[in-house]
C-alpha cells in the first residue's frame, strides 16, 4: 500500500505491531509511546540502579533479579517488551539496546522491501555489558559473558565468552 508520507508508513508499522487500528488506535499508540518516553527519561540519568531497573520494567522491559544498570542506558523506546534481560546482569553507562531497525525517513526503501524490522534481544543471566556498547536487534548475549566497552553486538555471543570490538567478536572463553 502506498502512503503520502513516510510518517504515515512509520505509524502504520508500529500500529500493526501492537495490533492497533483507527483513530483510537493512533491515540492509544501515542499515549503508549509518551508513557514509555517519560519513564525512560526518568530512568536515563538516575544514579540509583534499582530505580532505573524498576522504571525500565514499568516500560515493559523484561528484567530479572539483582541487576545493576548504570546511568544513561538507552533501551528501545518503541519496543521495550522485545528486550529480555536475565538475572545478575550488569549494564554500563551509555549502553544502547535496540530491538528494531528502521530506515525511518526513506520512503523509497520502506515501500520497496526494507520496512521496519523488529526482533527480540536477549541478555542472559550474569552477562556484563561494558560502557558505551551497542546491542542490536535479534542478538543474544550468552550466560556469564562479558561484552567489552564500546563494542557493537550484532550477532550471538556464546555463554562464558569475552567479546569486544565492532562488530563484537569472541576473543576468549571464560574457564571457571
| Residues with Cβ within 8 Å of residue 165, at least 6 apart in sequence | 148, 151, 152, 171
Q: What is the DSSP letter of 155?
A: S
Domain for residue 1, yes or no?
A: no
The predicted structure's pLDDT at residue 99: 97
pLDDT at 1: 47
The pLDDT of residue 74: 97
- The length of the chain is 176
The 10s digit of each residue's pLDDT in 64-109 is 999 999 999 999 999 999 999 999 999 999 999 999 998 767 878 8
Beta pairing class for 74-75 and 96-97: parallel
Domain that holds residue 67: 6-173
pLDDT for position 3:
55
Closest CA to 151 of 140, 127, 167, 136: 167
What would the DSSP string read from start to end of 58-100?
HHT-EE-SS-EE-SS-EE-SS-GGGEEE-TT-EE-TT-EE-SE
Would you say residue 57 lies in a domain?
Answer: yes
Query: In which residue ranges of the chain is pLDDT below 50?
Result: 1
Write the CATH number for 79: 2.160.10.10
How many structural domains does the chain have?
1
Greatest alpha-carbon pair distance for the chain in Å reads 58
Residue-level pLDDT at 110? 77
Q: Which pLDDT does position 111 carry in this prediction?
A: 78
Q: What is the pLDDT of residue 4?
A: 65
Amino acid at each position: 500500500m502506498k502512503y503520502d508520507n513516510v510518517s504515515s508508513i512509520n505509524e502504520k508499522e508500529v500500529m500493526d505491531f501492537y495490533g492497533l487500528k483507527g483513530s483510537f488506535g493512533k491515540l492509544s499508540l501515542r499515549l503508549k509511546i509518551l508513557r514509555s518516553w517519560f519513564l525512560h527519561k526518568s530512568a536515563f540519568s538516575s544514579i540509583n540502579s534499582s530505580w532505573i531497573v524498576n522504571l525500565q520494567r514499568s516500560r515493559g522491559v523484561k528484567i530479572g533479579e539483582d541487576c545493576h544498570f548504570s546511568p544513561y542506558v538507552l533501551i528501545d523506546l518503541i519496543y521495550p517488551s522485545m528486550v529480555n534481560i536475565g538475572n545478575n546482569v550488569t549494564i554500563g553507562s551509555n549502553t544502547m539496546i535496540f530491538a528494531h531497525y528502521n530506515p525511518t525517513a526513506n520512503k523509497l526503501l520502506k515501500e520497496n522491501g526494507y520496512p521496519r524490522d523488529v526482533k527480540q534481544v536477549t541478555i542472559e543471566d550474569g552477562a556484563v555489558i561494558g560502557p558505551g556498547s551497542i546491542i542490536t536487534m535479534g542478538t543474544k548475549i550468552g550466560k556469564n559473558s562479558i561484552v567489552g566497552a564500546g563494542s557493537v553486538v550484532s550477532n550471538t555471543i556464546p555463554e562464558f565468552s569475552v567479546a569486544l570490538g565492532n562488530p563484537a567478536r569472541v576473543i576468549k572463553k571464560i574457564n571457571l
